A = this chain, B = another copy of it.
Amino acid sequence: MPVKYQLIKRDKETRARVGMLETPHGRIETPVFMPVGTQATVKTITPEELKDLRAEIILSNTYHLYLRPGHDLVREAGGLHRFMNWDRPILTDSGGFQVFSLNGLRKISDEGVEFRSHIDGSSHFFSPEKVMEIEMALGSDIAMAFDECVPYPCTYEEGVKGVERTTAWARRCKAAHHHSKQALFGIVQGSTFRDLRERSAREITELGFPGYAVGGLSVGEPKPLMYEVLDYTVPLLPQDKPRYLMGVGSPDCLVEGVARGIDMFDCVLPTRIARNGTVFVPEGKLVIRNAEYARDFSPLDADCGCYACRNYSRAYIRHLIKANEVLGIRLTTIHNLHFLVSLMKRIRAAINENRFQEFRREFYARFKL
């Protein structure tokens, strides 16, 4: 098995847990947040900066790398790790979410998805087999199965169809996947319908994967509804395998996901809002462009030990962002990723020390939704 999960500690009051995930490129402590490196780079920063802020694993996007520079080129370069100079674990998504988001530019059938490139409009076809070929060429440590991610809201019938396709495609992915140094994770769909989540969880876990994702959440539904789905879906996944909640990355959602038994998260939120000049602080978010910070010579967050907070003031970072200087978005990106990575570290410590609920209360004492 290329990937092995070891459950280390379970919280007594919630489903929160600490584990160790072994991969071909090293061990990861879970729960973990994975920064997103869409185009074989976590936008604006280097692998060294990722290590400096203690990122342990990153996610990269199959859809984007397939279109540019092409998976053949990445394979020729010696795989994604070598191409981008990142020697720690990488998880690749299946491209499903991206191609389903190409409204008007894609056609879904049981065979797969025909879509047009957002770059040049050229026509392409993703089948479960094709996606496996691409992910194997990329050589990530963890590949995700090709699934159908239905939008929110959807009809019950659309939900059923999504579950059925996801199971059929998961079976085809498993059959097509053969890579001694890559694990294939299954994805549970079912929208916000409890019986569909139960059916999907049963069908996907019956196929048997070394890890499972909860897909189709954080696609527009209210947070309480997402938490409800997690409440009844996560217990259906095996205790001895890692569970990954796809596309979730706001601080409160990380805390709530962990409380519901999730081990892995990814999201473009921290890096995207950083490039827009918004940073995480314990109280929520801070829009550094605002005039009130023009002469504020304190760091973004006085409690933070990241490179940006150790060396620069809000006034300077605001100046850089206002002047469209790249260093500005580098600093906010580093800060936001450090914020989430460090949040996960504190969560792990709290679980290990039997005080996760206390940590959760303290978190909300400062954090404003």
Spell out A's residues near B (CB within 8 Å). 39-41, 43-46, 68-69, 73, 76-78, 83-85, 294-295, 297, 311-313, 315-316, 318-320, 322-323, 325-327, 329-330
A323 to B315, CA, bound (A): 31
Q: Which of B46, B77, B329 contacts A313 (CB 8 A)?
A: B77
Q: Which of B69, B297, B322, B327 contacts A44 (CB 8 A)?
A: B327
Contact indicator B312/A68 (Cβ below 8 Å): no
Q: Would you give the shortest CB distance from A221 to chain B, in whole angstroms?
A: 31
A77 to B315, CA, bound (A): 8
A44 to B39, CA, bound (A): 19
Contact indicator B83/A327 (Cβ below 8 Å): no
Residues of B within 8 A of A73 (CB): 294-295, 315, 319
Residues of B within 8 A of A319 (CB): 39-40, 68-69, 73
A326 to B42, CA, bound (A): 10
Q: Would you give the shortest CB distance from A67 to chain B, in whole angstroms?
A: 10
Q: Would you give the shortest CB distance from A23 to chain B, in whole angstroms?
A: 22
Q: Which of B69, B316, B323 contacts A68 (CB 8 A)?
A: B323
Contact indicator A316/B44 (Cβ below 8 Å): no
Contact indicator A43/B316 (Cβ below 8 Å): no
Contact indicator A329/B327 (Cβ below 8 Å): no
Residues of B within 8 A of A320 (CB): 39-41
Contact indicator B84/A40 (Cβ below 8 Å): no
Which residue on B lies nearest to A76, using beta carbons? B295
A311 to B84, CA, bound (A): 9
3 tightest Cβ-Cβ pairs between the two chains A and B: A44-B326, A69-B319, A41-B327
Show 8 residue pairs from A and B whose CB-CB distance is below 8 angstroms, ordered by the A residue: A41-B320, A43-B327, A44-B327, A46-B330, A69-B319, A73-B319, A77-B313, A83-B313
A56 to B84, CA, bound (A): 30
Contact indicator B323/A326 (Cβ below 8 Å): no
A43 to B323, CA, bound (A): 11
Given A40-B320, A77-B316; 6 other pairs, CB 8 A cutoff: A41-B320, A41-B327, A73-B294, A83-B313, A83-B315, A326-B326
Residues of B within 8 A of A325 (CB): 39, 41, 43
